[in-house]
Amino acid sequence: MISTATITSLGHKGEGLAEIDGHKVFVPLALPGERVEIEFEGDRGTLLGVMAPAENRIEPFCPHFGACGGCQLQHLDRPSYEAFKIGLIETPLRFAGIELPVSRFIDAAGDGRRRATLHARQEGVGYMRLRSHQVHDIDFCPILVPGLAKAPDIARAVFQAVGDADVSIVASLSGLDVAIRTEKKQARHDRVAPLVARFKLARLALNGEMVLQAQPPIVEMGRARVELPIGCFLQATAAAENLLADYVVNALDRKAKTVADLFCGLGPFALRLAEKLPVRAFDNDKPSIAALDLARRHAKGLREVTAKAQDLFREPLTQYELNYDFLVLDPPRSGAEAQVREIAKSKVTTVVMAACDPRTFARDAAILVAGGYTMSDLVALDQFTQSTHVEMAATFRR
């Protein structure tokens, strides 16, 4: 059905919200205040035209915007963009009973995203289209670091070798680290191995197994150099990792003597905290724990880092095990409810929590506040630029 409507607000997915005959309709690419023509079915609308554009509408910087689903906010001016992302953080906190404004909005884009996953399909190579499982073919992506300029070419070559695949590429200090995921039976190692020489890759993996490694992919974390395990988690931008680490280190109380890093991953916080104090580090990913331990042993000027593989979702550290002055945790999108409930019952003096999902962050923050902590210095870090994702961190003190 085709109709004209006025956009009243912006939903948390960056879609304009209109009301037609008493029903809410979500319209991607539309902005509050705009009079638009849309085609809709149920609550899903498609923008056909903007009859009266909003004052905060700007020209997108990427020609793929609007078709590619990788970005949702390139048409929004900077003040409105920042306000939208701040709202993503503050609104769930308000619903959780916490009235604390974001104190700083930090641009964490740096040189761009250092990792990307491109989908290689018959219809092309790129990211999924808006509201679709079809791929929008791209020749470049302006939000990636320059070192990933060849990412579309690499993904096309992967498709030629094995057919449909998802191709994850990380720009490391020693070259590109490429990991291929595919269900195609013709995906043999010998079909993709030539790509290492062709594109001068550091490493190539297929379905979690290493095909060929010219040199270990390396990233720097403070004074340490960390070898990346295949398929490991890495912050989207190097700038965001550095800014988050600075936040954590600056929150460290001078009187603190015992420190732990929960959901430590490769150790971006643990390795920097170890420049000051010994650190206990925990994560359920064994390859990341091994990489952290290796990096610490080869780094100079660090205190001891004791890294342990432990599933903190099923086996959280209990209130009796949390004998630390300072804790930092950066859980995945699902949050850390079980672990946070134990922290709330503990005597830990200071907790820094980083997160990438505002809703689970608000839930976990409310548990800490109910347990007697005071929440402060709430910051937003914008590393997922032009998308509806946002990173956040806050300090909790007894």
Residue of 138, 141, 132 lying closest to 113 (CA atoms) = 141
Does the pLDDT of residue 186 top 80, yes or no?
no
Does the pLDDT of residue 130 top 90, yes or no?
no
pLDDT for the residue numbered 100: 98
Cβ atoms of 61 and 143 closer than 8 Å? no
- Whether residue 68 lies in the annotated active site: no
| CA pair distance 255, 134, nearest whole angstrom | 55
Find tokens 């420049």 and name the residue: 275
Confidence of residue 336 (pLDDT cuts 50, 70, 90): very high
Cβ atoms of 317 and 339 closer than 8 Å? yes
Q: What is the pLDDT of residues 153-179, one digit of tens each?
A: 999 999 999 999 999 999 999 999 999
pLDDT for the residue numbered 70: 94
Q: Which CATH number fits domain 1-57: 3.40.605.10, 3.40.50.2300, 2.40.50.140, 2.70.98.70?
A: 2.40.50.140
Question: Which is it for strands 165-172 and 124-128: parallel, antiparallel or unpaired?
Answer: unpaired
Mean pLDDT of the chain: 96
Residue ranges of the chain assigned to CATH 3.40.50.150: 82-110+235-397
Choose the catalytic residue: 68, 141, 264, 356.
356
Confidence of residue 21 (pLDDT cuts 50, 70, 90): confident
Q: What is the pLDDT of residues 280-298, one digit of tens each?
A: 999 999 999 999 999 999 9
pLDDT for the residue numbered 108: 98
In terms of CATH, what superfamily is 82-110+235-397? Vaccinia Virus protein VP39 (3.40.50.150)
Mean local confidence (pLDDT), 342-366: 98
pLDDT for the residue numbered 187: 81
184 sits in the region (left: phi over 0; alpha: psi -120 to 50; else beta) called beta
Mean local confidence (pLDDT), 12-33: 94
Does the pLDDT of residue 215 top 80, yes or no?
yes
Residue ranges of the chain assigned to CATH 2.40.50.1070: 115-218
CA distances from 55 to 87, 107, 302, 350 (A): 20, 23, 52, 44
CATH 2.40.50.1070 holds for 115-218: yes
pLDDT for the residue numbered 60: 97
Sheet holding 165-172, edge to edge: 135-137, 124-128, 115-121, 165-172, 175-181, 203-206, 209-213
Find tokens 């001078």 and name the residue: 254
| CA pair distance 106, 390, nearest whole angstrom | 11
